[in-house]
Structure 1
Amino acid sequence: MSEHLAPHWGSSALIVIDMQADFTGISGTVEVIPQVTALAAAFRSAGRPVVHIVRLYPPGSADIDLPRRALDPPPVVPGTPGSEIIAGLAEPVALDHALLLSGRPQPIGDDEIVLFKPRWGAFYRTDLDSWLRERGVDTVVVAGCNLPNCPRATLFGASERDFRTVLVVDAVSRTSGERVADLAAIGVNMVETAAVIDGLPR
């Protein structure tokens, strides 16, 4: 593996994508909850940052993706139970929808935040890049919901910004050989949950 691509676990952060109640109906999402929960706990224990990325679709918002604008009501409407983080992934906390929609992070622990992303990728129109760099992060570890959409876009965005990238292949829903190969071609490391946890500093 190239020295420019290998993960630096001691300067890594976990990015959890769209693990919200309304998205549990997406194929494979419920099945990865245990792995995502274990990853989040391990990153906390290692003193490494954890970022919970969420979508919020206020009815009529221009930031509802075109494929979902026909849904009535849309998913993850602010203030509904479906917009909340899946129970057990973080300390119980109600999302501050007004704060998140303003673009500001909601702290929920030591170096653990919730951050709203208006579109597919977690780096697009957010402060994720600067938040990570302020903490010396050079490796992003991605897990969560629906690989073809938001995790994939986030990994491309991270690569564009010269972060080392890791996809936790057993902790993200809707994986396939074709999608994994697509990401491997841009230097994303494919690692399973147990290996990530073993690599973290203790």
Structure 2
Amino acid sequence: MTGSEPATALVLVDVTNSFFLEGMPNFYPAAAETLGPLRALLAKARAAGRIVVHAVEQHYPGFDDYEWRKLPRHHVIGDRDADFFAGFEPRGEVEIICRKRRFSAFFATDLALFLHEQAIERVIVAGVKTNVCIRATAQDAFANGFDVVVPREATNSNRPHLAAASLEDIDRYIGRVVPIERALEMLT
């Protein structure tokens, strides 16, 4: 990293069984298209010793959750759908888990505080789904004073038109949408 490059962290959003294993509550076939780019980002971040945030939606077992007024029950702590997708389990000293109960990794969590304490200036946000958790996380990252980067190939949705609109909004108002190659360079 050159002196002019901002300190960067990788935020992986909801890389869990729920979206990537057939039969799980939020599975959609196109999610698999993001796995190669997500693996490349994770490998590059690990090789460079970058902070990796594994932001995962998890809900308390046995309790009601406001989110279920719009969505079916999902991601209950201890359930298989809430587990990390194989190969994306946190490891090492610079990887943390950010448990979230809403779409954004920054809402009602200490993620902004943690990243500011580590002098992080830029976050690369990748995972699923573009029009829901990625957009919400990107918007809240911006609101918390971080430069936001979303690698185009490392996110998608089962609603392609909404994913396209979300990426357009992110690039226009919130941060930058870049090719995967550029995001990988930012992690070097």
- What is residue 34 of structure 1 aligned with on the other side? 36
- What is residue 167 of structure 1 aligned with on the other side? 150
Task: Count matched residues.
Answer: 174
Q: Is the 1:14–1:51 Cα contact (8 Å) retained in structure 2? A: yes
CA positional deviation for 1:64: 3.1
- What is residue 101 of structure 2 aligned with on the other side? 118
For residues 131-184 of structure 1, the C-alpha deviation after alignment (integer angstroms, 9 at most, x for no partner) is 111111000100001111111001110111121000111001225432211111
Q: Is the 2:75–2:82 Cα contact (8 Å) retained in structure 1? A: yes
Q: Is the 1:49–1:111 Cα contact (8 Å) retained in structure 2? A: yes
- What is residue 180 of structure 1 aligned with on the other side? 167
| 1:88 match: secondary structure | coil
- What is residue 79 of structure 2 aligned with on the other side? 80
CA positional deviation for 1:124: 0.7
Write out the 4+ residue segments of structure 1 that deviate beyond 3 Å after TM superposition.
Answer: none
> Using the alignment, how far apart are the partners of 2:138 and 2:177 within structure 1?
12
- What is residue 46 of structure 1 aligned with on the other side? 48
**2:139 maps to amino acid:** F
> Using the alignment, how far apart are the partners of 2:85 and 2:8 within structure 1?
23
**1:186 maps to amino acid:** Y
CA positional deviation for 1:77: 2.0
Give the TM-score, by structure 2 length: 0.84
- What is residue 69 of structure 2 aligned with on the other side? 66
| 1:159 match: secondary structure | helix
> Using the alignment, how far apart are the partners of 2:79 and 2:5 within structure 1?
36
For residues 12-65 of structure 1, the C-alpha deviation after alignment (integer angstroms, 9 at most, x for no partner) is 101010111012213521221121111011011111100001111335432434
Give the gaps of 5 or more residues in structure 1: 1-7, 92-107
**2:56 maps to amino acid:** V
> Using the alignment, how far apart are the partners of 1:9 and 1:89 within structure 2?
26
- What is residue 157 of structure 1 aligned with on the other side? 140
Q: Is the 1:23–1:29 Cα contact (8 Å) retained in structure 2? A: yes
What value does the CA root-mean-square deviation take over the aligned residues?
Answer: 1.8
Aligned with 1:192 (options 167, 179, 184): 179
Aligned with 1:17 (options 13, 19, 22): 13
Give the TM-score, by structure 1 length: 0.79
**2:45 maps to amino acid:** F
| 1:177 match: secondary structure | helix
- What is residue 121 of structure 2 aligned with on the other side? 138
> Using the alignment, how far apart are the partners of 1:160 and 1:179 within structure 2?
16
- What is residue 24 of structure 2 aligned with on the other side? none
| 2:129 match: secondary structure | coil
**1:151 maps to amino acid:** I
| 1:87 match: secondary structure | coil
